[in-house]
Amino acid sequence: MAAAVGHVYSLKQKTPGSGYPVFDIEWVPLYEVDKKADYTKAYLKVLSQLAKNADEVVNACDYDSEGAVIGKKIIEFNAPNKKQSRMKFSTLTTKELQEAFVQRGALDLAQALAGEARHELDWLWGINTSRALMQAIKKAGIFSILSIGRVQGPTLAVLAQREKEIAAFKPQPYWQLFALVRSAVFEHVHGKFWVEQESDKALANSSKQGTVKSVESKKVKQRPPPPFDLTTLQIEAYKCFKIQPTQTLQLAQQLYEASLVSYPRSSSQKLPEKLGLQGIILQLQKQPAYAKFADSLAREKRFRPCEGEKDDPAHPALHPTGEIPSKLSPPQQKMYDLITKRFLACFAPDAKKTRMNVVLTLGKEDYRAEGVRTTEKGWMEFYEPYAKIEETILPAFEEKERVEAEKLEKVKKETQPPKRFTPASIIKALEAKGLGTKATRANIVQTLFDRRYLAGKSIEVTPLGLTVEKALEENVPLILSDEMTKKFESEMEDIEQKKITKEQVVEEGKAALKEILAVFRQKEDAIGSKLVDAVKATQRNDSVLGGCKSCTKSLVVRKSKYGLFVGCLGYPECKTIYPLPKNAVIKPMRSVCEKCGTPVVSVFRKGKKTFRMCLDPRCPTKAHWGNKREQDENNP
């Protein structure tokens, strides 16, 4: 048995060169493509040696498209003529792995071919369109690393469209009438008045004295939420903890590798009975944090979950395995708790609520208030603190009784622009549009951040991002087409179902890409001229690290024959300078040191942890940096 440590083979163009178009590619060992992957040589050597003497090669990688590709490539390069089989599992518990080994079947070749097609199309689109983009800006006289891709382009277009809607939004005034009765707020039944004169007329027809027109009470049930698929986990983790979707996947993967939860890259909201759900609940009784709720389910024999509509033929919804965790980091503990409580809540009773609707007649006008009160928490108790119980308690009213308002008022408001996407809501929007996969969406959004196309927790498209989107939309709109991207995603699913071949899909993708690149070549000058100002502005902005304490100018990154340093724009009048770490990329943090008031930057160095530092080498925060242990911990 030997580990594959992820992808150990990757794509590479056959002939050297940095131009476009590039269509002649091949699969090669990863270390030939990525110098940072040199460690994979040793793994490949072990795999090759084992394969020589093996009677059978078993692919025990994760049971998904990526795992299928990893195993297929290793077998192709190292054991093409050996007996081949596949293990299928959703958790890494000893019991399930043993069963998967005994029940192993044929290689999932169709799934692997679909994965290969996605890799090859993404590589071809990414390298060609990105090189075309950089060639356009190079012809305009500057150099900048830009990128676009098969899914990046449509994703940027979705975000840019929202930005345009916000910019074009014109607020409209409207008016609402409110009455305060027994400390409860009632709103005029008309709702929003778009004409002020109409609200004035209704207010004039209202009086503080009135009667209760109607009282309606209705008991309702609220079913438990379904178990998590990856997207809903990412959305919930961001809502509860503000954990970024990329980190949510990393944490869930770590829990999976520790045999604590099931495979995270699932699209399913189903929990089949064959998982041994009763056994998992009984196992959770052994964990103090969940014993109370697991005991309750066991006593009432509640072993049938509430499920959602989404399904995934390869994996069930995310769920705990019942294994007892040890030594979890705080973020891992949060993620485990969220997944486990959601799982338990799926089996719990409905929550019960009473909804009230009270209508008052004040003068000649009617006013309404709605209330809601939770009478039985049900599943909400199992899912605390993640289930928010929001209640509006109305005082008691009886029909036809007389009432008096403490206050009547007219309030002017304005319509609000569309909300910007959050890192979680954009994942949900991409899923709804069929863009990307459950495993790639978060990384695609992160790449757009890395390219300076996006900024902020409430995602804002930067001037550079808007300019790239506009230049492509006006000249090569197919790069941004979500319809074409969805079409290829659908065809890759068809490969898995053996409705179409990998070769057909890849050739079709190449044909579409050739058409796009031919147009791009003709429009290079136009695209470059649109991008140049935005790229220059972005580069200037990235070089400004903050304000100078000695004068009113800015501190910027400078270059000398000795390397990079920080200098003041007020030079030669202001001679403030600071050193910078060698062989590092510096990014401004737009904040100042609490100790000395000097700008703070992030330092990125290859192979080392990213860290933040104050620019001033004499700052008290660096008092112990001469200590080797301190240096090792902070990587300054």
25-29 and 351-362 as β-strands: parallel, antiparallel, unpaired? Answer: unpaired
Q: Is 253 exposed, middle or buried (CB count within 10 Å of its CB: 0-12, 13-18, 19+)?
A: middle
**In angstroms, what CA-CA distances link 370 with 360, 540, 607?**
12, 54, 58
SS3 90: coil
Annotated catalytic residue within 43, 63, 256, 263:
263
Catalytic-residue membership of 263 = yes
Alpha helix (H) residue ranges in 227-367: 230-241, 245-257, 277-284, 288-299, 330-345
How far is the C-alpha of 70 from the C-alpha of 437, rounded, in Å?
Answer: 17
Alpha helix (H) residue ranges in 24-171: 40-53, 65-78, 94-102, 109-139, 152-168
Q: Which residue reads 């699969």 in tokens?
A: 27
How far is the C-alpha of 112 from the C-alpha of 168, rounded, in Å?
Answer: 45
Give the closest residue to 349 by CA, choosing from 314, 380, 374, 370: 380
**In angstroms, what CA-CA distances link 356 with 2, 125, 129, 392, 486?**
63, 56, 58, 9, 45
SS3 244: coil
**In angstroms, what CA-CA distances link 64 with 9, 108, 139, 438, 612?**
17, 9, 43, 11, 38
Secondary structure element (H or E) that encloses residue 509, with its range: helix 502-522
Give the closest residue to 321 by CA, choosing from 381, 252, 385: 252
**In angstroms, what CA-CA distances link 177 with 197, 206, 242, 335, 365?**
12, 10, 37, 45, 10
Strand order of the β-sheet with 209-222 is 402-404, 209-222, 351-362, 365-376, 184-188, 173-181, 407-414
Q: Is 206 exposed, middle or buried (CB count within 10 Å of its CB: 0-12, 13-18, 19+)?
A: buried
In terms of C-beta distances under 8 Å and separation of at least 24 residues, what long-range contacts does 536-543 make, across chains too?
536/142, 537/463, 537/464, 538/144, 538/452, 538/462, 538/463, 538/464, 539/142, 539/144, 542/452, 542/587, 542/588
Output b/e per residue, 381-399; b: 16+ Cβ within 10 A. bbbeebbeeeeeebeebee
Provide the 10 A C-beta neighbour count for residue 543: 15
Contacts of 164 (CB under 8 A, 6+ apart): none
How far is the C-alpha of 252 from the C-alpha of 630, rounded, in Å?
Answer: 31
Residues identified as active-site = 263
